[in-house]
Amino acid sequence: MGTGWELTQALREKIYLYASYPQTSVSIRQMVQFGPNPSPGSIFLASQFIVEELPIRLALKVKDLENAPLGLSKQPSTIKVKNWYAQSFEELTSLPKPKIDEKLKKLLYSNNGNGARSVSDIEDKHEVNETQNLAQQQSNDVAVNNVFSDDGIVVRHHPHTQQTGARSTRSRSEAPTYGKTYFTPCPMNIVWPKEVYDYNKLVHDALSKIKKRHDATVATMAQGVSEWKTEHKIVSVNSAIQTFLDRFYMSRIGIRMLIGQHIALNMSQQSPTKQRINTFLNGSSGNSNQGAKNGRNNYVGVICTDCNVKEIAEDAAETAKYICEEHYGLFEAPEIQLIAPQESISFMYVPGHLIHILFEVLKNSLRATIEFHTPRLKEQLLKENPGMKESDVDLNDLKFPPTKVIISEGFEDIAIKISDEGGGIARSEIPLIWTYLYTTVDKTPVLDSDGNNQTSFRAPMAGFGYGLPISRLYAQYFGGDLKLISMEGYGTDVYIHLNRLSSSSEPLP
- Catalytic site positions: 356, 360, 363-364
Nearest to 452 by CA among 77, 58, 73, 89: 77
Nearest to 207 by CA among 299, 303, 89: 89
Query: For residues 181 and 128, is the Cβ–Cβ distance under 8 A?
Result: no
Cβ partners under 8 Å of residue 1, min gap 6: 213, 450, 451, 452
Q: List residues bridging with 491 in a β-sheet.
A: 487
Q: State the Cα angle at 116 between 112 and 122, rounded to 5°.
A: 140
* Residue 380 exposure: Cα atoms within 13 Å on the Cβ side: 9
Cα-Cα-Cα-Cα dihedral of 39, 41, 42, 44, to 10°? 130
Q: DSSP string covering 378-421, please?
A: HHHHHHH-TT--GGG--GGG--PPPEEEEEEE-SSEEEEEEE--
Give CA 384 to chain center in angstroms.
49
Nearest to 175 by CA among 305, 303, 322, 54: 54
Alpha helix (H) residue ranges in 119-216: 119-122, 125-137, 161-165, 194-213
Q: Is 5 helix (H, G, I), strand (E, B) or coil?
A: coil
Cβ partners under 8 Å of residue 214, min gap 6: 84, 85, 88, 252, 255, 256
Residue 378 to residue 264: CA distance in whole angstroms = 50
Residue 469 to residue 434: CA distance in whole angstroms = 5
* Residue 433 exposure: Cα atoms within 13 Å on the Cβ side: 23
Residue 373 to residue 159: CA distance in whole angstroms = 47
How many CB atoms are located within 10 Å of the residue 231 CB? 12
Alpha helix (H) residue ranges in 110-193: 119-122, 125-137, 161-165
